[in-house]
Chain A
Amino acid sequence: MTPAASAPAIAVTGLRKSFGDQVVLDGIDLEVAEGTIFALLGPNGAGKTTTVHILSTLSAPDGGGIRVGGHDPALHPDLVRAAIGVTGQFSAVDGLLTGEENLVLMADLHHLGRVGGRRRAAELLRRFDLAEAAGKTAATYSGGMRRRLDLAMTLVGDPRIIFLDEPTTGLDPRSRRTMWQIIRRLAAGGTTIFLTTQQLDEADELADRIAVLDHGTLVAEGTAAELKSRIPGGHIQLQFADADSLDAAARALAGATPDRDALSLQVPGDGSVRSLRALLDRLDRDGLDVQELSVHTPDLDDVFFALTGHPTTGTDRTTTESTGTTGTTEKEAVR
């Protein structure tokens, strides 16, 4: 038996769940190490929220083994509840109460006592930049403020494990950044974070490990770098001024794919400095006139497409990082 200290914060094996005929989770295995950020990535309807519901005792699984904070939610729901905090997809704040009253309500339910509760509420209001709005009812808060209050309420009981179901959906870019910062700080403090997202950049930005969920099954699991390395798609794109230069280059570089309409040439490469230098040397030696060069490293969009055969509904992001002048690159080859 492994000692409790090294036991994972969350361990799931063969988790299954159906609603009637509809299979929502079809045998999921995952493990989240203590103090890490784990992202469950997938499009709408993949089963992310159902997973969170089951792990947070809101829903019973049809089958599979689950340990959250070392306890089985089916056998000891209250021990699991004492270890976790949940911030759902829709802000679960009491709109008729003020920000402070919402936090004191949570403190009372955690039996922190009158003085202790108020102190905790004041501390969280300050930490989440809500001190000024503490006396206003939550119904008057902006979306970002409601999310912050929601997360602050989750933290009142000082949970060891936090579930965040799409924590930044619907937030403006600035509030999103703020939320990311808060999440990172929590993890730095030793809290385990299980977050779901359909935004690839969010998982890339925050998570130590990412699991890709699609139609109730995990199609991949690993670090962002591992996932990216699992699929082909890393290449260097060369842009030419005319068809002659393109043809010349295509003849010189074996394995490259020319695109005559775009006057561009895709050269396979892993994006390392060494392969890039080799390519540049070759271009130099043959006197090939390249107008523009860009390095393309596969991102999670490519991963998702490669793994599931369909793109995500996530936000667009720049997939290429190009440099302006011929033959030189000051950009990092590897992100």
Chain B
Amino acid sequence: MSTLGYSVSDSATMLRRNLRHNLRYPVALIVSLGVPILLLLLFVGVFGGALGVGAVPRGGHYIDFVMPGILLITVGYGASSTAMAVNRDATEGIISRFRTMPISRTAVLTGHVAGAMIRTLATGVLVVGVALLMGFRSSAGLLDWLAVAGLFALVALALTWLAVAVGLAARTAEGTSGFTLLVQLLPFISSAFVPTGSMSGAVRWFAQNEPFTPIIDALRRLLTGAPIGHSAVVACAWSVGLALIGYLWARALFKRDLRL
């Protein structure tokens, strides 16, 4: 078999291992599915009435407003569990074992990324399904939905590569908690739950300029059928940029000398 053939088959082996982990240790799967649904219930059922007054134009539904943010939180929780899984591999020494074997250098990481992507896309579909049951409606057409799926996947790819790098960089599982906190907190200081215009001073500036806001705005415009504007470009630029940083960082960390 060619080098490329081995590289693909090694990545597939690593992906199988990763998917098996999800079945053996479903807690990560349950959390990355359960938390977005819980937040959906919380924001739509509990805060929705109050928050919706300012956020949604008359006749609109708050669940339609909040859905893009929930999707992003789904990606964030998925990335957190990816960081933990990669960190477990790195600290348990199995990555060292893989590195002493004549296998494709990238297979270990691409296996993780592919597994995380499948998991995150599946939870995304399930979250949308639950939201539809709860009354979420979208005027998006097929093309809009494809664009939503594409942007969702791109964001997932970006946060997953960042998560892989964080997982490799952290010396302990606790070390990944900073990343976890960041991806879980950032959506709250964005346009996810209330329009950024309703925020004050420095918080508003931050919310308007952090990467999650243009991504959420782009998703919202796609889902509500509004003109997409330049938010799509900004969203894609952020995603591609973060994915690239995550990828290069992870690759450098994977190659670095093992230090005691």
Q: A49-B260, A50-B260, A90-B92 are in contact. Are A58 and B24 (CB under 8 A)?
A: no
A94–B98 CA distance with the chains assembled, in angstroms: 11
User: A70 an interface residue at 8 Å Cβ cutoff?
Assistant: no
- Would you list which residues of chain B between 1 and 20 have a CB under 8 Å from chain A? 1, 6, 9-10, 13, 16-17, 20
* In the complex, number of A-B residue pairs with CB atoms less than 8 Å apart: 74
Closest A residue to B12 by CB, please name it.
A108
Indicate the member of A81, A84, A85, A94 with the most B CB atoms within 10 Å. A94
CB-CB < 8 A to B258: which residues of A?
53, 58-59
Partner of A92, one of B21, B92, B257: B92
Q: A58-B258, A60-B257, A92-B92 are in contact. Are A86 and B13 (CB under 8 A)?
A: no
User: A111 an interface residue at 8 Å Cβ cutoff?
Assistant: yes
Task: Give the distance to chain A from B16, nearest Cβ to Cβ, in Å.
Answer: 8
Task: Give the distance to chain B from A50, nearest Cβ to Cβ, in Å.
Answer: 7
Q: Are B94 and A92 in contact (CB under 8 A)?
A: yes
Q: Are B94 and A93 in contact (CB under 8 A)?
A: yes
Q: Are A58 and B103 in contact (CB under 8 A)?
A: no
**SS class, residues of chain B in contact with chain A:** helix
Closest A residue to B99 by CB, please name it.
A58
Q: Are A92 and B6 in contact (CB under 8 A)?
A: no
CB-CB < 8 A to A90: which residues of B?
92-93
Q: Are B101 and A111 in contact (CB under 8 A)?
A: no
Closest B residue to A96 by CB, please name it.
B24
Q: Are B102 and A81 in contact (CB under 8 A)?
A: yes
Q: Mark A82-120, 1 if CB is under 8 A from B, else 0.
A: 101110111111111100010001101111000000000
User: A237 an interface residue at 8 Å Cβ cutoff?
Assistant: no
Q: Are A19 and B92 in contact (CB under 8 A)?
A: no
Pairs across A and B, CB under 8 Å, 29 listed: A19-B259, A50-B260, A56-B100, A57-B100, A58-B96, A58-B99, A58-B258, A59-B258, A81-B100, A82-B102, A86-B96, A86-B97, A88-B97, A89-B93, A92-B96, A92-B97, A93-B92, A96-B20, A96-B21, A97-B20, A101-B20, A106-B101, A108-B16, A109-B10, A109-B101, A109-B103, A110-B101, A153-B97, A157-B102
